[in-house]
Amino acid sequence: QVQLVESGGGLVQAGGSLRLSCAASGRSFSSYTMGWFRQAPGKEREFVSAISLSGGSTNYADSVKGRFTISRDNAKNAVYLQMNSLKPEDTAIYYCAATRGLVVVTTARRYDYWGQGTQVTVSS
């Protein structure tokens, strides 16, 4: 089992940057594919990005491709989401998630563990 805690959210102007962090506790962090999802008010939770066990494979939603970068540090049991060129439509609660397995999945129901979320607000 793994526990996840996100941090790094906040208020930023359009065009700005934020770096989200997700700290994992528990055993075998390197056995989990990690993902970031987000949920805006009145909308369904949507996939943002995911990274494989070793970090060698990543996946991004089309809406963030070229602006966001996911990375992980297995020695620190952490996964990060660098968000650049932020837009007002990026405003949402961002969640970190973990799933066992080798495939970089993009579907929320495939993830077993979730953090509590961190709010990102981008002003225009």
pLDDT, one tens digit per residue, over 51-84 is 999 999 999 999 999 999 999 999 999 999 999 9
Helix, coil or strand: residue 29: helix
Angle at 36 between CA 107 and CA 67, to 5 degrees: 115
pLDDT above 80 for 90: yes
pLDDT at 101 over 80: no
Question: pLDDT tens digits for 6-52?
Answer: 999 999 999 999 999 999 998 789 999 999 999 999 999 999 999 99
What is the pLDDT, as a whole number, of residue 103?
83
Gyration radius of the chain over CA positions:
13
- Count CA atoms within 13 Å of residue 42 on its CB side: 0
Q: Look at residue 46 in the predicted model and tell me its pLDDT.
A: 97
